[in-house]
Amino acid sequence: MDNASLKPDQPVLQLVEISRSFTIKAGFLAEKKILRAVEDVSFQLMRGECLGLVGESGCGKSTLGRLCSGLLPPTSGQVLFLGRDLPEAGCGSWARGQIQMIFQDPFSSLNPRMTVGDSVAEPLLAQGVDAKVSQEQACAMLATVGLKDVERRYPHEFSGGQRQRIAVARALVTKPHIVICDEPVSALDASVQAQVLNLLCDMQEQFSPAYLFISHDLNVVGFMCQRILVMYLGRIVEAASRDAIFSDPRHPYTKALLAARGGKASTETILHGELPSPINQPLGCTFHPRCPKAVDICRQNLPPLKEVSPGWMVRCHLA
Ligand SMILES: Nc1ncnc2c1ncn2[C@@H]1O[C@H](COP(=O)(O)OP(=O)(O)OP(=O)(O)O)[C@@H](O)[C@H]1O
Ligand SMILES: [Mg+2]
């Protein structure tokens, strides 16, 4: 089934109450602790949309991205790809090549010993496409991302922006349903960032993949995404359209992220302190120790994620 034959209102990916924790042991004699990286996350990724995932460093964005791609199994909950359970590692025969990832650092995601032609052809070979056809399609995809006659060269011969173009070609060469973009421009200079973002938009127009677009930068997410999920300590605290988030944010954490957006003050300054450890999460609303509006109930009960208007969810007692 290609992207064009999916109904517009059919989610390509659905997460149902997904949680993921890690068991941590700091030293040989240290006791084991549970780190809750992702807690009770549910959402749908619709065909061809660009869904943003934003939040501070360490809030669980990459873990959620890996859960969506099948690279990491959940501790509990369900990941449905086209309505069916996602096979582990995303590589069960029917899902192979259908969910691809683009990472922050293309230098570590591209094998330095492989020519870029071979790197881009690799996902096709994994799908069982014939070697010659894979090479031809890889060259064509490299040309589509603006890199002609480069297939025999190696990653170190390219600039950061060009390497990220190669990573985009590799992610899109199988015409996947979903591309998880995990901070794809965070390591690039501002001028190059815009080029890579525009390339991702062009690729979406041509091949209609849905993007889960992960970034700590609300400006970048605002440029790319129609819908935004705001994450705090592993939980979704606000989910709404970009326009809603930018014009009338309801969660105090979203407000702080917006206030920090101009770059004059960091989220830590605005919120007085850093993200608490996901090992010792605060009781009640996990945001209450940093919340300027917190009242008694916030210290006692975790607020549910409730719908404040159609398609707009907020996890706050006061919203
Ligand atoms: N394999 C792992 N083992 C133990 N802890 C992990 C593992 N992967 C992630 N974590 C922890 O889970 C939490 C969330 O990490 P994650 O990388 O998902 O955050 P992030 O939002 O992507 O951060 P950043 O913006 O810095 O990339 C962190 O506290 C991290 O230390
Ligand atoms: Mg990350």
In the chain, what are the domain boundaries?
3-98+174-314
Alpha-carbon gap, residue 266 to 260, rounded angstroms: 5
Prediction pTM value = 0.94
Q: Whose CA is nearest to atom 28 of ligand 1?
A: 58
DSSP string, 235-304: EEEEEEEHHHHHH---SHHHHHHHHTTTSSS-HHHHTTSPPPPSSSPPSSSTTGGG-TT--HHHHH-PPP
Is the pLDDT at 155 greater than 70? The verdict is yes
- Specify the ligand 1 atom closest to the Cα of 216: 25
pLDDT score at 11: 94
Q: How far is the CA of 4 from the centre of ligand 2 (A)?
A: 31
Mean pLDDT of the chain: 92
Q: Whose CA is nearest to atom 1 of ligand 1?
A: 22
pLDDT score at 268: 72
Task: Please indicate whether residue 106 or residue 114 has the higher confidence score (pLDDT).
Answer: 114
62 close to ligand 1 (CB < 6 Angstrom): yes
pLDDT score at 77: 97
Q: How far is the CA of 180 from the centre of ligand 2 (A)?
A: 12
Q: How far is the CA of 102 from the centre of ligand 1 (A)?
A: 17
Phi, psi (rounded to 5 degrees) for 221: -65, -40
Range name among 35-49, 74-88, 91-105, 115-129 with the lowest pLDDT average: 91-105
Of 236, 246, 234, the residue nearest 307 (C-alpha): 236
What is the homologous superfamily of the domain 3-98+174-314 according to CATH? P-loop containing nucleotide triphosphate hydrolases (3.40.50.300)
* Residues forming beta bridges with residue 18, ordered by sequence position: 41
215 close to ligand 1 (CB < 6 Angstrom): no
Q: What is the CA radius of gyration of the chain?
A: 20
pLDDT score at 119: 96
22 close to ligand 1 (CB < 6 Angstrom): yes
pLDDT of 172-225, one tens digit each?
999 999 999 999 999 999 889 999 999 999 999 999 999 999 999 999 999 999
Q: What percent of the chain has pLDDT over 70?
A: 94
317 close to ligand 1 (CB < 6 Angstrom): no
- Specify the ligand 1 atom closest to the Cα of 278: 29
Longest pairwise C-alpha distance within the chain: 66
- Specify the ligand 1 atom closest to the Cα of 104: 27
- Specify the ligand 1 atom closest to the Cα of 63: 18
Q: How far is the CA of 107 from the centre of ligand 1 (A)?
A: 20
- How would residue 8 be classed by pLDDT, with cut points 50, 70 and 90? low
pLDDT score at 293: 92
Alpha-carbon gap, residue 98 to 106, rounded angstroms: 20
187 close to ligand 1 (CB < 6 Angstrom): no
pLDDT of 71-104, one tens digit each?
899 999 999 999 999 876 545 567 788 999 999 9
pLDDT score at 140: 98
pLDDT of 254-292, one tens digit each?
999 999 887 667 777 778 788 899 999 999 999 999 999
pLDDT score at 272: 73
